[in-house]
Structures are given as C-alpha cells and as structure tokens.
Chain A
Amino acid sequence: MNSPAGAKIETLTKVNDFVVKFANVNGSGSASANTLFAKAIFRMGIPVSPHNIFPSNIQGLPTWYEVRISEKGYLGRREGVDLMIAMNEQTIQKDIDSVVSGGYVLYDSTKSLPEQMAREDVQFLPIPLTEICIREFEKPSQRQLFKNIIYVGALAALINIDFDVLTGLISDQFRGKEKLIPPNIHALQLGYQFASEHFQCPLRLTLKSSDKTDSQILMDGNTAVGLGCVYGGATVASWYPLTPSTSVVDAFGRYCQRLRIDKQTGQQKFSVVQAEDELAAIGIAIGAGWNGARAFTATSGPGISLMQEFLGLAYFSEIPVVLFNIQRVGPSTGMPTRTQQGDLLSCAYASHGDTKHILLFPSTPKECFDFAASAFDIADQIQTPVIVMSDLELGMNEQISEPLEWQEGRAYDRGKVLNHEQLEGLEHFGRYQDSDGDGIPYRTYPGTHPDKGSYFTRGSSHDANAAYTEDGDVYAEVMDRIAKKFDTALDYLPEPEIRENGAAIGLLYLGTTTSAIAEAQDLLTKQGVATDTLRVKSFPFHQSVRTFIDRHEKVYVIDQNRDAQLKSLLKIELNVNESQVQSIRSYNGVLITAEHISRSVLDSQENAGE
C-alpha cells in the first residue's frame, strides 16, 4: 500500500551511505540477484559489504541479505535499515518494523498489504512483481527467478545504480550461456521501467560513482583460504562437510582442478578426501603431514570438538598439520549458519593434558589467503598443528579486500627435515633432540635412508630418541622443550597491528571485529573519547600485546562470544590484571556493530566517572 495521502514523511537524504536489506525465502533464487546488486555497487567504486543472514535449511525458511553501503569505507554492520526489499510474507511485519524512520519498503503489491502493517514514517514502494512476471514470462521457474531480477532493475532506477554496470555483470555471469542474457536484461528493464514510471526517482537514497574500490576485489574468505592452500603447496585435503567450512574445500578442489593438473599426463597433483567424520579428516591430514605432504582440513565448532584427541597427538608427536576453523555459533549444534568467535579457548588448548596450539586470526580475504599459505610454513617450521581461526562472517560473505598477491620466487619453508645426505653425515639421529637450542628438533620422512633416521612416532611418552619412556624426568624434559618451541614460534608468527596516538583508552580485538573498529573509533571521537587500537593476528601472543595493555589506562577487549574468551586468554598467557582490561562482548549470531562497541565504551566510561 502507499503511504496515506497527505502524510508528511521526513525522508533522509543519503549519498553512498545507507543500508539496504533484502528479506527473501530460502531457495527462491534470490541469492544471485542480491549478489548482482552488491557487485554492481562495488563496480561503481563504492565500498559495499553484503552480509548473508541465512537459515540452516535448503528451502522455505526466511533468509536476509543485508548490504551496507559506505563511501567512508565502514564495512561492518550498521543497526537499522534504510531500504527494505520485503519479499517474504512470513517475516514482513518484522521487516517493516526494522526500517528506520524516513526509510523505504519495496514490496510485491500483487497482493495488497494488510492494513496493520502500515507505517506513516516510512515510504512504501509497491511493485506488482508477481503480476509482471506472470505477464512477461511463461515458465513457472522463470516467473519465480525473474521476480528477483526485476526488483534489482527497479532499484537501479530508485537509487541510481549504473544500468550499464548491471548489464555488464549479467554478460559476465552468463558467459558461455549467452541465451540467458537477453531475458535477464529484459527483467532488469521491466523493473527499471516500472519504478521510473511510478515513483519519483531517484529516492533520497542515492548512489554516486566513486573510486574507492578501484584496485580491490570482492571475495569471500573461504575462497581466499582455498586459494591460499593451493599457493601454499597443500596436496592433501581431507574433510567432512560442515557449515560454514564446506566452501573452503570446495574452493581448494575447484582451483586445483584448474591449476594442479599435470599438463602432460592429465594427472592430479592433489588429493581431496571426503572422510567419514572429522576424526578421520584430521587423522588423514596428520598421516600425510607425518609423511611429508602439506595437508589440511577445514571444519567448524562441532568438528573441533571431535578432533581434540588427534590434535593432542599431533602436538605431542610434533607433526605439522593445518586446520581451518570457520567458527559458527556454539555450544553444541548452536546456530550453524550464524557467526561467532566462540572457539578461542577450545582451540588454544585443544586436547587433554598440557597442550597449546598456534592460532592465526585473519580479518580480510587477503589475510585469509596470506595466513593460509603461511600456515603451512609455520606448521613445518614449528612441527605442530596451526589453526587458522576464521568465522562464518568472514568465510561465507563477500568482503572488499586488497587483491591477493604472491611474491614471485617465494619458496616453501619445510622446516627442519633431514635428507639422505644430511643423515649420511650424522653420527646420531634423535627425533626429539633439541640440537639447535630453539626447542625445534629435526625430523625425517619415512623411506629416506636405509640405516639412519627412522624413528617411532607415538602419542605415548617418549625420550629424545622417540623411544617409549615412563621416566617422569625424561617426560618433563620433553614437555619443557615443546613449551620452548612455542617461544621460538613468536619469531614466525604475524605481529599484532598497533595503531597508537597516545590515547588513554585502547581497543583490543581480532578477526571480523576489525570491520567495526574504524567506525567505532569515529563515533567515540565525536563523543570526545580518543582510542588506540591493537589487532591480534596470532596466538601465542607477542610481548607487544602485553606492553600495549600496560601503556593504557584501560583496554577494552572485544569478543564475539559470551565468555570473553580473548580476555581470558590474555589473562592466562600474559598475566594481565583484571583492572587493566574490560570486556565488550557480542554474541547474537550476527557481526558486531560499531554502535555496540562505542555504546559499551561510553557506558563504561560514564560508570567509571560516577
């Protein structure tokens, strides 16, 4: 329905700075239309960040696609919606309610909206999408799919999306299936035409071409991880399907089919094994790592729980392996399609007994790529599992990122591995002997030498020669040496990113929280609160994390989990005093917002002042 005649609506005028949200039914083909929308804005040079908020379901449940558009480059989520594309009858009431005062609601007016849904402070944009589709398209499947394309066409008129950019994207998308191009463009035109004829275009939300995304790419983190594994030299991927990690191995397999087939023979220089469960998935990766291949698995929380025993084995028997944890909401099955940073503690100390694992925290697709490739070097150098901690938000949503880059001539660092000649010259080989004083012993691959270098790999207590022992002192020596290895590891791990301007307050965070930080800082500055920042990129922590905390009166540690796991880790590892740190937490399954961070800081400052 239209807004009641005469009602005065105070519309906001915003250029390149608003939120558009699409409310759809899962499985209705909306994903490709919505992606088309976001990518068109990206190609217009305007920073854009789409967020899928989707159900654990194949067809029928509600799904949302929220697009933040920000000339300033704020890529986190923002509270409130300026323009709602309300395509789902199940959720329409709630969707309309979420629109900010002065915003817009586009809906399918083939059926009229119930009276009680009217809001006087938003403008309704009725388009009879179903009716148009029935008139214009014959096949039922087309009638469904093109509804989505028509609303994208309408949006082109409503908010000034460059129409040529849209048609260009359609041509790219259907390269090789050219006969699909004309009907898609026709659908776009239908929407464009209807909107132009029925509404005052553009709305007060408009796009203006910019140059902010010129050199950048729009990619999801899992694709970047998969590519990082190809470039990092992984040959064995073993996995068990689990949302939201599945697309990591999908991407790896897809790029391997393209880039890792031997040209002469057509044979594969990789192997992807879909295992029977996560236990086998990590077991296969560990077996391959033991035998000298670079191997990985990808999983999420439930898989991490299942892999605990094997992670302890790899830690204690010192086998390189790389694990990608694309975190989702726990505990237990939790919310499989929502995001969280809830596995910090269960990964940092995974498995029984005294253990510790190297964690890497990427925050962009570029870092997903870089950390994935480097993880294989680090695992080989330190001879231990490396867990790359991504999350659903980063893994499954397209993100604006610096382009991926590979330094020509970069060689893989396989760590301390003795070959036949080196063994030949060696009087005695002790697999767990600390010859260099850095805690990292030398290893050999099976089959290297007829008489030298073989050893017995075991998860039971062993001495420097890998022989079984129940001598407590010998056991303790080995444990101490392994602990030393983790001190050495700091030299190989990415240092934290520190931005400091002498503020009294610090913000400390990692991973996808990064997307909200610049905006949170600006919001705080407006309130007269200056902040410094530290972004953690790896665990164990560098000493610079501790000194940053010491230099500030108060450091807010931002966690996307209930139990302040990052703060706990800082306290355990760096002896940080409770009075030095304060927790900001967000754990509702969607990406933390800048508003939440600035509100939390301000509240806490006020409380402290009282």
Chain B
Amino acid sequence: MTYIRKPKFQHPQLETNELGLTRRDYEGTLTTLCGGCGHDSISAAIIQAAAEMSLEPHRIAKLSGIGCSSKIPSYFLGKAHAFNAVHGRMPSVATGANLANKELYYLGISGDGDSASIGLGQFCHIVRRRINMLYIVANNGTYGLTKGQLSATADLGSKTKSGEESLYDNIDLASLAIELGASFVARSFSGDKKQLVPLIQAGLSHKGFAFIDVVSPCVTFNNTDLSTHGYKNTWENNAALSQVDFVPMREEITTSYAEGEEKDITLHDGSVIHLHKIGNNYDPFDKEKAVMHINQHKAEGRIATGLLYINQTTSDLHDLTNTIDRPFNVLGEQELCPGNSTLMEINEAFR
C-alpha cells in the first residue's frame, strides 16, 4: 500500500554519502507493484543514483502521469515533492513546474501508454521545448492496470500473456526523441542496474531534455517468451553499445581506459560521462547514425541499449526565452508590478 511507510529501522553501519545521508534517506514508501515488476528495479536504480550523487532529495521534483509506471514516484525520494498528473499530461505539468523554478531537478516518470499513446502529443512537444529534466519511460509494452492490453510500444508480432498479438508497428520513443531534438537519449533495461544507474546520473546532470527509455518487463501480463518486452527476450537480445560510467564533478577521475576505447563527455555541471566502448566504434554525437543504429538492431530482433545520443552543448527553454536567473516563484510585487504611475501613462494611450 502506498500509504504504508517503510520502517525507519536501518543498519547502523549503513554507508553515508557526502551529505551524511544513507540510501534509506532516498527511499519512499513500500511498493504496491507485483513482485518482480521491472518498475521496482527502476525505483531502486533512481535511489542508488541520487544517493551516490549526493543530491539533496528535496531539491528534486518528481512528476508522473497515470499507470503502473506513474505510481513509482511514491517508492523513491520520499523527501521530494511529487505530482501525479492526469493520464498522458505529465509533460505539460513538468513544463509549467520547470518554468516556475529553474533551480530544481525535475524527474519525470511515465509509461508506454502514458507517453506513446494518450500523451504522445505532449511527449513530442516537451522534447521540442527542451525542458531541462530527466524523463524516464518505464516501457513494458502493455497496459498493466487495465489487465494487459497491448500498448503502442509493443513490437509487431509480440504477444501478451492472453495471446493477443500486436498487429502494428511499434512507436520507438527513443528514435522519436532523437528526431525531435532531445539532447540526451538513452535506452536501458530495468534488469541491468550497472548500465541504468550511471545513465540516470548522467541524465540528471545533463542540461536540457534527457530521455531514457527503460525496458521494464510486466511480470503479470507481458512476460511470456513471445513478448519482446519480457525478461527473457530482453536479456537475450540486449545489445549494449557501451559501458557507461558516470563521475560526478566533485570526484577525481581515477580509472583509466585504454586509448581508443573510451570517450569522456563533460556535462554542463562539470561531471563526466566515461563511455567504455564495446564492439564497433559508436558515435553518440551523430543523430542520424543513432536512429539508424536503433533501426538496424530492431531489424535483427535486438535492442540497442546504452547512451544512444548526446549533445551536451544545447540550451534549455529558459535559455531560449532568456528568463531571469532567479526562479519566478520567488518574485513578488516589487519585481513584477509596474506600479500606478505607469498605469496612468497606459491610460493616456487609450484616450
């Protein structure tokens, strides 16, 4: 039950981060999702990511839509404000929230029904508007809460537990995000924490719109061998482009990689992404190649995961519209109201 708080009991030697906080300080309430749900692994990855980065939990605003995915903000960062909006409309709420206060971290959690069907329009437009946030889609190819209908991300021919087969091509949110101008696009798998945690950390540090499509199996309705969003298929066909390590700006870089096999990407806040390449030289700075790469893998029945695309030099909506440095929500009448004498002048123009 979401309203059952976790016991405060904790191991006395639990590791603390730079803020003196333990992982427990980044947790939320007990999950109400099915045992084994991929979404719980995403919650755990977010907790680990934020704790390792020593983020202040209350400086993060969690936003979600409707669906199993959108419930998970309850299960992590209990000290942060959260907003569970209407179905498919989290992007607009996130846009407004971000406009009101540019100083917080914004973490959006959505699902495939929420972002690829009812909210596809809003998803496209938040990407275009370059809202500075990390937007995660917990993608299981199915509508869990309504008991297992196919979603728009289900691959052609994929079958649900009830045997319903997808007759249509899927919508690939990662390709779409790249095409629409997202400046950080990754795909991962809820079962691959080693890959997912640094991606989340990098996405939070990235300035601009960061998107991670996380394949997150629905154990109850869409986890058969015939489902392309099930554990079996995802494990077998996960094609990681690169191993990603994230180094927050405060840490010294100690690991070294062999020349030619790694790439350092410095983010806006000074933190660094180490890309440790696996296989072919993949260039995450090339939009066209990124989309091609995704499509090629798809044609082979494989899932391209890792950091697919990044442009760490872009601006966000606040830069584009040249808003003042202070958050709007601290401005009062002194800063905002032009006063009566100005109004008298305005009246004059209407005489």
Contact = CB atoms under 8 A, between A and B. Distances in A.
B347 A410 contact: no
Nearest to A369: B343
A233 B100 CA distance: 13
A460 B328 contact: no
A405 B340 contact: yes
B294 interface: no
A446 B100 CA distance: 11
Interface string B293-337: 000000000000000000000000100011111011111110111
A181 B327 CA distance: 46
B103 A447 contact: yes
Given A279-B92, A284-B92, A290-B96, A446 B81 contact: yes
B86 to A, nearest CB: 5
Interface stretch (A4-12, A63-71, A186-194, A258-266): A258-266
A492 interface: no
A365 to B, nearest CB: 8
B91 interface: yes
A280 B333 contact: no
Interface string A396-429: 0000000111111011100000000000000000
Given A231-B338, A269-B335, A448-B58, A468 B2 contact: yes
A121 interface: no
A293 B99 contact: yes
A231 B344 CA distance: 13
B79 A451 contact: yes
A446 B324 contact: no
Interface in B82-96: 82-86, 89, 91-96
Nearest to A230: B338
Contacts of A290: 83, 93, 96-97, 100
B325 A287 contact: no
A604 interface: no
B57 interface: yes
Contacts of B1: 468
Interface stretch (A270-278, A517-525, A573-581): A270-278
Contacts of A217: 347, 350-351
B71 to A, nearest CB: 9
Nearest to B121: A276
Nearest to B96: A287
A269 B336 contact: yes
Interface string A237-272: 010000000000000000100011010011111110
B148 interface: no
Contacts of B83: 287, 290, 457-458
A458 B62 CA distance: 12
A43 B351 contact: yes
Contact of B81 (A219, A270, A410, A457): A457
A280 B88 CA distance: 10
Contacts of A218: 350-351
A346 interface: no
A454 interface: yes
A273 B79 CA distance: 30
A334 B327 CA distance: 41
A260 B96 contact: no
A11 to B, nearest CB: 33
A226 B45 CA distance: 46
A269 to B, nearest CB: 5
A329 B124 CA distance: 32
B61 interface: yes
A268 B86 CA distance: 30
Nearest to A236: B99
B258 interface: no
A587 interface: no
Interface in B123-139: 124-125, 129
Contacts of B342: 259
A233 B336 CA distance: 5
B79 A287 contact: no
B7 interface: no
B3 interface: yes
Contacts of A450: 56-58, 79
Interface in B68-126: 73-74, 78-86, 89, 91-101, 103-104, 121-122, 124-125
Nearest to A295: B96
Nearest to B83: A457
Contacts of A266: 322
A463 interface: yes
Nearest to A217: B350
A281 B122 CA distance: 11
Given A231-B337, A275-B125, A267 B322 contact: yes
A227 B344 CA distance: 12
Q: Could you say which interface size class chain B belongs to?
A: 35 or more
Interface string A476-513: 00000000000000000000000000000000000000
A286 B84 CA distance: 12
Given A271-B328, A287-B95, A449-B58, A411 B79 contact: no
A284 B339 contact: no
Given A291-B100, A447-B103, A284 B324 contact: no
B145 to A, nearest CB: 12
Interface string B52-72: 000011110101000000000
A282 B98 CA distance: 15
A293 B94 contact: no
Contacts of B335: 269
Contacts of B336: 230, 233, 235, 260, 269
B14 interface: no
Given A450-B58, A450-B79, A287 B92 contact: yes
Nearest to A444: B81
A455 interface: yes
A287 B100 contact: yes
A55 interface: no
A275 B93 CA distance: 12
Interface string A219-237: 1000000010011010110
A293 to B, nearest CB: 3
A408 B342 CA distance: 11
Given A267-B323, A284-B99, A235 B331 contact: yes
Contacts of B322: 266-268
Given A217-B347, A218-B351, A284-B95, A458 B84 contact: yes
A382 interface: no
Contact of A447 (B81, B122, B321): B81
A322 interface: no
B84 A406 contact: no
Contact of B347 (A231, A255, A404, A468): A404
A153 B112 CA distance: 65
Contacts of B100: 235-236, 287-293, 295
Contacts of A288: 96-97, 99-100, 328
Nearest to B93: A287
Interface in B17-50: none
B329 A291 contact: yes
B89 A310 contact: yes
A231 B340 CA distance: 9
A313 interface: yes
A404 B92 contact: no
Given A269-B335, A271-B328, A283-B122, A292 B3 contact: no
Contacts of A403: 344, 347
B95 A293 contact: no
A406 B252 CA distance: 56
A447 B104 contact: yes
10 contacts: A235-B328, A271-B323, A287-B83, A287-B98, A288-B99, A292-B328, A447-B58, A458-B83, A459-B84, A467-B3
Q: Which 3 interchain pairs have the tightest Cβ spacing?
A: A287-B96, A283-B92, A292-B329
Given A269-B323, A411-B332, 13 more contacts: A218-B350, A233-B337, A268-B322, A269-B336, A280-B122, A283-B122, A287-B97, A288-B96, A291-B100, A293-B328, A404-B346, A412-B332, A455-B81
